[in-house]
Amino acid sequence: MTTESQPDIGAMMTAAVPMARTLNLEYLETSPERVVVALPDQSAFHNHVGGPHAGAMFTLAESASGAITLAAFADQLSRAVPLPVHVELDFKKIAKGVVTATARLGRPAAEVVAELDRGERPEFPVKVTLTRPDGAVTSEMTIVWTLRPND
């Protein structure tokens, strides 16, 4: 789902990020408030317990965080580039089947833009929750992003 004023973030991510294509990530919802991305159940990416490999789950979560960053700050891309700064990932339960990542900004976008307007290099957290089909949370990620001014 995209809004008319927003670019198709899912298509942008799929075109620009080779790992998103490799893992066949499905962008189910992309808005500045929330992004939902699914990792299909694919045996080629399973680990030793039959679920998605940790690297695939990391890529899923990081891709969801990048998509919400693009959705929230698309109008700032002419003057700043989004970059990840720090990641923390906690594994809670074994993942099986389709894994879905839901990302939300940890700060209001207006605050981040105000810092950028003041000539600062703002940082903001993105919180991502990964769930399996039964709704159980398998992992939680917090990734801190920055908008690095182009100047």
Residue 4's pLDDT band (cuts 50, 70, 90): very low
Q: Residue 110: what residue type?
A: A
| Beta pairing partners, 105 | 126
Residue 1 domain flag: no
Residue 6: the pLDDT is 58
Residue 30 domain flag: yes
> 109-117 and 54-73 are packed helices; what angle lies between their axes, rounded to 10 degrees?
70
C-alpha span between 150 and 133 (Å, rounded): 41
Residue 90 domain flag: yes
Counted residue by residue, the chain has a size of: 151
96, pLDDT greater than 80: yes
Residue 3 domain flag: no
Residue 2 domain flag: no
Residue 69 domain flag: yes
Interval 18-77: pLDDT, tens: 999 999 999 999 999 999 999 999 999 999 999 999 999 999 999 999 999 999 999 999
Q: What is the DSSP string of the chain?
A: ---TTS--HHHHHHHH-HHHHHTT-EEEEE-SS-EEEEE---GGGB-TTSSB-HHHHHHHHHHHHHHHHHHHHGGGTTTEEEEEEEEEEEE-S---SSEEEEEEESS-HHHHHHHHHTT---EEEEEEEEE-TTS-EEEEEEEEEEEEE--
Residue 50 domain flag: yes
Q: Are 38 and 100 spatial neighbours (Cβ–Cβ below 8 Å)?
A: yes
Residue 84 domain flag: yes
The residue with tokens 């189910």 is 28
Structural domain boundaries enclosing 36:
9-149
pTM: 0.92
Q: Are 42 and 79 spatial neighbours (Cβ–Cβ below 8 Å)?
A: no
2, pLDDT greater than 60: no
CATH number at residue 90: 3.10.129.10
Count structural domains, the chain. Answer: 1
